[in-house]
């Protein structure tokens, strides 16, 4: 099932992207135009969530297949380097919400300061070069305006979605007793909102307690928690 969900997300992301580039007009007065941007943002988020699950070995029990899907997912997401993400993410799980956590901001809890620190840590020159090359290749077939609105903008918007629901809300201070021992809180609302907001990733206490649970089973862990 892990492979099925992973390949489905990749296929939907790619299918909708090329559909939007081919068929959806850049029309600022059309609600459908903005709907397609939001949908592609959501699919971008799913692409990263797939890569994240791969880091925990939950996409496939076959190590090579699991890593290959994870590598491919984060590369499609934004030309990211999987081994670098893997190393930092394991540190995040080992030292969550502390000075040793590479995803945490101990100096400032301001959203924008923390987001900037987070992005600076993961953005690389090579990644930007890769994305620039891909952009210019796609320009052979598609207009700049379509590429910006249906590829670049959704990718950027998804970073806000992932950061807000997957890092900022779960780990920001104050760190209360119910967040122990992972300094991670969980989303209080229902499963529908949890899925729409970030593929159940807001159930973050459950994720840190059992990292081996794939995203599509986290709602069960939340329901089982007292």
Distances (CA, A) of 47 to 59, 75, 101, 168: 12, 10, 23, 20
Question: Do 100 and 174 touch, CB atoms closer than 8 A?
Answer: no
Categorise residue 138: left if φ over 0, alpha if ψ from -120 to 50, beta otherwise: alpha
> Residue-wise pLDDT tens for the chain (226 aa)?
889 999 999 999 999 999 999 999 999 999 999 999 999 999 999 999 999 999 999 998 898 999 999 999 999 998 888 888 888 899 999 999 888 888 898 888 999 999 998 888 888 888 889 889 989 999 899 999 999 999 999 999 999 999 999 999 999 888 888 888 888 888 887 899 999 999 998 899 999 989 889 999 998 888 876 6
3-state secondary structure the chain: CHHHHHHHHHHHHHHHHHHHHHHCCCCCCCHHHHHHHHHHHHHHHHHHHHHHHHHCCCCCCCHHHHHHHHHHHHHHHHCCCHHHHHHHHHHHHHCCCCCCCCCCCCCCCCHHHHHHHHHHHHCCHHHHHHHHHHHHHHCCCCCHHHHHHHHHHHHHHHHHHHHHHHHHHHHCCCCCHHHCCCCCCCCCCCHHHHHHHHCCCCCHHHHHHCCCCCHHHHHHHHHHCC
pTM: 0.91
**Residue extents of the structural domains in the chain:** 2-224
């Amino acid at each position: 099932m892990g492979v099925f969900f992973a390949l489905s997300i990749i296929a939907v992301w790619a299918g909708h992207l090329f559909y939007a580039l081919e068929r959806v007009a850049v029309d600022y007065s059309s609600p459908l135009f903005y709907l397609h941007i939001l949908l592609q943002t959501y699919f971008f988020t799913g692409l990263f969530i797939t890569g994240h699950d791969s880091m925990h070995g939950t996409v496939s029990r076959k190590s090579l297949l699991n890593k290959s899907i994870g590598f491919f997912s984060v590369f499609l997401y934004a030309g990211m380097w999987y081994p670098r993400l893997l190393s930092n993410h394991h540190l995040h799980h080992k030292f969550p919400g502390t000075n040793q956590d590479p995803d945490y901001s101990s100096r400032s809890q301001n959203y924008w300061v923390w987001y900037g620190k987070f992005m600076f840590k993961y953005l690389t020159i090579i990644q930007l070069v890769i994305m620039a090359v891909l952009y210019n290749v796609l320009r052979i077939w598609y207009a700049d305006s379509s590429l910006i609105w249906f590829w670049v903008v959704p990718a950027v918007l998804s970073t806000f979605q992932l950061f807000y629901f997957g890092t900022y809300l779960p780990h920001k201070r104050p760190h209360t007793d119910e967040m122990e021992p992972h300094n991670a809180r969980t989303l209080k609302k229902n499963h529908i909102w949890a899925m729409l907001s970030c593929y159940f990733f807001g159930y973050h206490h459950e994720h840190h307690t059992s990292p081996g649970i794939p995203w599509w089973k986290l709602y069960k862990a939340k329901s089982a928690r007292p």
